[in-house]
Amino acid sequence: MDSRERGDLLKENKKLQKSLEKVSLQNAELLMLIDFLSTLLVTTDIEKITYIIVSHIRKVVGGRVIKFVRKEPKADKYAYYIVKDKNIKKVFLNRGQLGKDCFFMYCNKLYISYEDKSFIAIPMKYEGENIGAIIIEEFDNKTLKNQIIKLIEVYSLISGIIIKNCILTAQFEIEKKVILEQNRKISEDLQYAQKIQEYLLPRGEHHFDNYYFCCNHIQAQYLGGDFYDVFQFNDNKIIFYIADVSGNGVSSALFTLFLKQAVRGIANSFNGLPIYPSKILEKLHIRFNDFIVEEELYIGILIGVLDTEKHQAVLCNGGHNVEPIHIKISEKKVLSYKLEGLPINNWFKDLKFPYEDKSIYLDKNDRFILLTDGATDFKGRGNNTLGLEEIKKVLYKNMSLDCDMQFGGLLKHINVLNTENTIKDDIAFLCLRRKP
């Protein structure tokens, strides 16, 4: 090898060495970046993230004093850190308290000052939103290469995304706490409301002359829309009804209150006059129309006036969707009556359908049962609906049992079919029996 060839080889060698240095530098930067990212990924704690960002940028640029301002999860609040040597000072600021150091948060690009007091200001953004800024003071500006500046820009881009993510996570946690607290309060209120509704919807027995009434219910939700009531109108007339306010929840429960007051009030207005269930429903319809409610809210009600001397029950249906059931003990039959009628609603102001009364005779020991659709629409195994005919079969089987036991028998049957251990809709039950 001659001297010229040796010179070329040396030149080539130097070139390669330079490239190697460059690659090794890029490799080091890449490793730092990976290290930065992997550290950031282990936490969503905004404080930890802040310290990770500060320490990494300090590692890259150096500098004795680092100031860092960033948004807090709370609106218009900012955290301001001053890191000097090994000391860290943190203060919370409102938007109006942001000083001149924080100005760089609103800059779009990295800013470097090489004057006597050298500093670098690195704004952090997320989709145009000003997230924060780092200001590094007292650094060696001779060592600041373009490569480092580019690296810092990448850091600032990543930091903006990460801090925004932390802010959103923290905001989500704050909102979650608020919602959970509100939910707890609403649940408590609903439980109280349920107790009040239980009081208004008593379970148990009523005795009027030679008649015995039994009322019971089970509620699927805290507040239900099922309702019943039994009260004496005069010496020989008892008014009873079962109703289902569409839907459930507070509005439906409040309408059951309206129903109780309204039906009793309307009945009082017939004092000394002949009373018919159809007339009660007509008046109830008028009263209901005082409310401006959505079409989804309406009342299905089946009402009866029982004459305890003539043993005659006059019935009228206002859209209640379960046929009343008559257990004729002497004939050993379980019948149901198809009664039609428009629910109590505000659907069509211009349409009027008269309510129709139907009279039935109750023999000794006969039972007469009113139910809500929680029972008929109950879905058991195979998603099959229980249905009225199946209920009639259960009642037929338990024909000799008294009213309370009949309800117990029906619930037992439902429980056997129930695969979910919960019922989805309320079940209300009203049974009357003529005493022997």
Partner 1 sequence: MLVEALTQGKMKLINVFGEVGFENHSEFKESMLRNIQGDESIIIVDMKNLTYLNSMGLGVIVKAYSESKKQGKELVLSSLQDNIKKLFTITKLGRIISIYKSKEEAIELLSKQDVNI
The closest of 425, 395, 427, 429 to 409, measured between CA atoms, is 395
**Three-state secondary structure call for residue 372:** coil
Work out whether 280 is an interface residue with partner 1 (CB under 8 A): no
Interaction with partner 1 in 66-125: which residues (CB under 8 A)?
none
Distance CA 230, CA 305 (A): 10
Work out whether 353 is an interface residue with partner 1 (CB under 8 A): yes
Sign of CA dihedral 128, 132, 138, 142: negative
Interaction with partner 1 in 226-245: which residues (CB under 8 A)?
244
For residue 343, what are the CA distances in angstroms to 76, 268, 289, 298?
A: 54, 22, 12, 7
Distance CA 394, CA 277 (A): 29
Distance CA 368, CA 16 (A): 103
Mind giving me the DSSP string for 213-230?
A: EEEEEE-SSSS--EEEEE
Work out whether 321 is an interface residue with partner 1 (CB under 8 A): yes
Smallest distance from the beta carbon of 191 to partner 1, in angstroms? Answer: 19
CB 115 within 8 A of CB 17: no
Q: Which stretch binds partner 1 (CB under 8 A): 122-130, 169-177, 265-273, 295-303?
A: 295-303
Work out whether 377 is an interface residue with partner 1 (CB under 8 A): yes
Work out whether 260 is an interface residue with partner 1 (CB under 8 A): no
- Indicate which single residue of 425, 429, 430, 433 sits in contact with partner 1 (rule: CB under 8 A): 425
Which one-letter DSSP state was computed for residue 319? Answer: B
Which one-letter DSSP state was computed for residue 88? Answer: E
Indicate the residue among 357 and 373 with the shorter CB distance to partner 1: 373
CB under 8 Å, gap of 24 or more: what pairs does 109-115 form?
A: 110/149, 110/152, 110/153, 110/156, 112/141, 112/144, 112/149, 114/141
Which residues lie across from 245 on neighbouring strands? 299
- Indicate which single residue of 5, 290, 296, 420 sits in contact with partner 1 (rule: CB under 8 A): 296
Work out whether 373 is an interface residue with partner 1 (CB under 8 A): yes
Q: Which stretch binds partner 1 (CB under 8 A): 49-57, 112-120, 235-243, 341-349?
A: 341-349
Q: Which stretch binds partner 1 (CB under 8 A): 149-157, 201-209, 267-275, 289-297?
A: 289-297
Work out whether 219 is an interface residue with partner 1 (CB under 8 A): no
The closest of 297, 289, 290 to 346, measured between CA atoms, is 289
Q: Which stretch binds partner 1 (CB under 8 A): 77-85, 140-148, 255-263, 337-345?
A: 337-345
- Indicate which single residue of 125, 256, 341, 375 sits in contact with partner 1 (rule: CB under 8 A): 341
Work out whether 389 is an interface residue with partner 1 (CB under 8 A): no
The closest of 50, 218, 48, 65 to 135, measured between CA atoms, is 65
Q: Which stretch binds partner 1 (CB under 8 A): 68-76, 204-212, 254-262, 312-320?
A: 312-320
Work out whether 347 is an interface residue with partner 1 (CB under 8 A): yes
Count of residues that interact with partner 1, criterion CB under 8 A: 30
Smallest distance from the beta carbon of 43 to partner 1, in angstroms? Answer: 38
Q: Which stretch binds partner 1 (CB under 8 A): 117-125, 208-216, 272-280, 336-344?
A: 336-344
Work out whether 351 is an interface residue with partner 1 (CB under 8 A): yes
- Over the range 35-50, which residues count as b (16 or more CB within 10 Å of their CB) and which as e? ebeebbeeeeebeebb
CB 427 within 8 A of CB 374: yes
Per-residue x/- track, 31-60, partner 1 (CB under 8 A): ------------------------------
Work out whether 254 is an interface residue with partner 1 (CB under 8 A): no
Q: Which residues bind partner 1 (CB under 8 A)?
A: 244, 246-248, 294-298, 300, 317, 319-321, 338-343, 345, 347-348, 351, 353, 373, 377, 385, 424-425
